[in-house]
Chains A and B, each alone.
Chain A
């Protein structure tokens, strides 16, 4: 019983975060770990979270676009993997995709449904009622949490034996294929991230990174250092090439500032 409550609390937090995007409780590596903790199978939760994270890391809400929703996907998939159904992590990764699309639809719907609530805020503002504005905002936060918590509760009503029987009914050849597919889906996420950043001048850095990484001796930290070093060099050389427009040029402390901020990355 306490594990069910725990999962529902995680679902609520993930639902709020899926829209607010602050503490990142909706990212699979956090959400699945917490579900694993609630159900007492921490390690299967972490394994699913890490595998699913690689698939979802390219999903981002930019501007007014709504990406597939990792919140519902991570929580429900983790319930099926770490809970009584004990599905393998690869099956969880595959099931997460349709769940993410359901979550995306719910996010879109709620962004429409919330309009009357915002209209209430206009009325409150016209009366100078700040307390009411605060309350309206908090209630919309609760709605965002319920957006994931209620569907999660419905999915949890499905008996674990059904899920297990469904999985057992899949032929062996498909099950092996699922495992292969789960490992391959990450390239789509990588492509989304690359597509967002890539410009003609940046492609060389992608291939340098690729070539260096195929040498197994370089650790990830070493690769990161090379990357930051290249970025600083490139920007320094570029600003040397372009003549300054404003006589005196950019003040030197601008570049120091940049160096410091790059170090922080």
Chain B
């Protein structure tokens, strides 16, 4: 990368204020606690201010500037927590320029945070919560249930946290080094493509999970005569294995689309299971 921070044409400028690598690591270590003070109506405001504390301390030794910086970051903030690292990186770069008087104003920093937080959350929520966590945790659960025991939880815990920590540090560092260039890069549509790709994989894998991991069996025999017995499950398996879980899932999606609360769906499925067993249809 040829773009260097804090290099200016004027050589005889007073000493520039710089964030050291250890400041950035401190901010990184704080960033994982961002949501601890989640509150209405200002959401993650205290969390963001908390993670900026090491940077504010370094950049603003004067009390007046320090107060302004703390107040600036106590304003409403909310994004997908892992994407916050990218916003943090860019904010650190802008704060540095602001502290060195390079034409970045209080309002510029404020506007940047607000403009990035919504769009990034919309892109990252389906990737992390909608695709990665369901798939990884379902995979881990299936490992645990098929006799691998402790390997399942370990795969989930280690896999998730390695992905999360490397993503956080890489994006924070990249945001800091690139500064505002990040905004131009994001507007080129790469993120939308990535989200689309993740959603395709997510939908595909959810389709694959439905028949494999729904435990659903009709009672073996529903009618029997002297010569042959009729098994509903065997018939359905001939037609299409996993057909009933598929129908149940699609009905649930349809109901969710029509604003039925998930709690009612849980209750309905619960009653369906109880009733099916009571009637001797399910086992």
B84 nearest CB across to chain A (Å): 11
Chain B: minimal CB distance from A200 (Å): 12
Instruction: Find the residue from A137, A190, A230 having the highest chain B CB count within 10 A.
Output: A190
* CB-contact partner of A22 in B32, B37, B71, B142, under 8 A: B32
Q: Is A160 an interface residue (CB 8 A)?
A: no
Residue A84 at the chain B interface, CB threshold 8 Å: no
Is the CB–CB distance between A33 and B153 below 8 Å? yes
Q: Write the chain A residue with the least CB distance to B73.
A: A125
For the complex, give the distance between the alpha carbons of A62 and B205 in Å: 21
B198 at the interface (CB under 8 A from A): yes
On whether A29 and B207 interact (CB within 8 A), knowing A118-B39, A125-B71, A262-B194, the answer reads no
Query: Quick check: A187 and B249 within 8 Å, CB to CB?
Result: yes
Please determine whether A198 and B203 come into contact, CB atoms closer than 8 angstroms.
yes
Verify A197–B49 contact, CB threshold 8 A.
no
Determine whether A150 belongs to the interface, using a CB cutoff of 8 Å to chain B.
no
Q: In the bound complex, do residue A29 and residue B156 qualify as a contact, i.e. CB atoms below 8 Å apart?
A: yes
Instruction: Name the distance in Å between B268's Cβ and chain A's nearest Cβ.
Output: 9
Q: Are A133 and B46 touching (Cβ within 8 A)?
A: yes
B36 in contact with A202 (CB, 8 Å): no
The answer to whether B277 and A177 touch across the interface, beta carbons within 8 angstroms, is yes
- Interface size for B (C-beta < 8 A) is 106
Q: Which of B45-72 contact A (CB under 8 A)?
A: 45-47, 49-50, 53, 56-57, 63, 66-67, 70-71
Decide if B220 is an interface residue (CB 8 Å cutoff): no
CB distance from B24 to the nearest CB of A (A): 17
Is there contact, CB below 8 Å, between B137 and A193?
no
Residues of B within 8 A of A180 (CB): 273-274, 276-277, 282-283
Q: Could you tell me the distance between the alpha carbons of A108 and B125 in the complex, rounded to whole angstroms?
A: 21
Whether B137 lies near A190 (C-beta < 8 A) is no
Interface contact A191-B249, CB-CB below 8 Å: yes
Contacts of A114 in B (CB 8 A): 37-39
CB distance from B7 to the nearest CB of A (A): 25
Task: Say whether B274 contacts A188, CB under 8 Å.
Answer: no
Q: A30 CA to B137 CA in the complex, in Å?
A: 10
A95 to chain B, nearest CB (A): 12
Nearest-CB residue, chain B, relative to A52: B141
Compute how far the CA of A163 lies from the CA of B208 in the bound complex, rounded to whole angstroms: 38
Asked if A235 lies at the interface with its beta carbon under 8 angstroms from chain B, I say: yes
Tally of A-B residue pairs with Cβ under 8 A? Answer: 341
Task: Given A210-B210, A239-B193, verify A184-B248 contact (CB < 8 Å).
Answer: yes
Please tell me if the beta carbons of A184 and B33 are within 8 angstroms of each other in the complex: no
Q: Which residues of chain B have C-beta atoms less than 8 A from A128's C-beta?
A: 63, 66-67, 70
Within 8 A of A (CB), among B19-47: 32-40, 42-43, 45-47
* Given contacts A43-B149, A133-B49, A184-B248, A232 and B197 within 8 Å (CB-CB): yes
In the complex, chain B residues whose CB is within 8 Å of the CB of A210: 207-208, 210-211, 242, 246
B37 and A192 contacting across the interface, CB-CB below 8 Å: no
Query: With A184-B269, A202-B203 in contact, do A197 and B126 touch (Cβ < 8 Å)?
Result: yes
Whether A191 and B141, one on each chain, are in contact in the complex, defined by CB atoms closer than 8 angstroms, is no
Cα-based distance from A64 to B238 in the complex (angstroms): 46
Binary contact track B248-283/A, C-beta < 8 Å → 1, others 0: 110011011100001101100110111111100011
A250 interfacial by beta-carbon distance below 8 Å: yes
Q: Pick the contact of B205 from A189, A196, A227 — CB < 8 Å?
A: A227
Cβ contacts under 8 Å, B263 to chain A = 68, 101
For B255, give the chain A residue with the smallest CB separation: A191
- Measured between beta carbons, the chain B residues less than 8 angstroms from A199 are 199
Interface residues of A in 136-151 (CB under 8 A from B): 136-138, 140-141, 144
Give the residue of A42, A62, A177, A193 whose beta carbon is less than 8 angstroms from that of B274.
A177
Closest to A259 in B: B197
Of B203, B206, B241, B262, the most chain A CB neighbours within 10 A belong to B203
19 contacts between A and B (CB under 8 A): A24-B157, A29-B153, A30-B156, A47-B145, A49-B144, A60-B129, A63-B121, A97-B266, A121-B49, A122-B74, A137-B50, A177-B274, A185-B266, A187-B245, A209-B205, A210-B208, A214-B211, A235-B197, A254-B188
14 extra A-B contacts, CB within 8 A, seeds A50-B145, A58-B134, A183-B215: A47-B144, A57-B137, A117-B39, A121-B49, A176-B283, A178-B274, A185-B273, A190-B210, A198-B203, A205-B200, A208-B204, A210-B207, A231-B200, A262-B194
Chain A contact residues, CB within 8 Å of chain B? 16, 19-24, 27, 29-30, 33, 42-43, 46-47, 49-51, 53-54, 57-58, 60, 62-64, 68, 94, 97, 101, 111-112, 114-115, 117-118, 121-122, 124-128, 130, 133-134, 136-138, 140-141, 144, 173-174, 176-199, 202-203, 205-214, 220, 223-224, 226-228, 230-232, 234-235, 239, 250, 254, 257-258, 261-262, 265
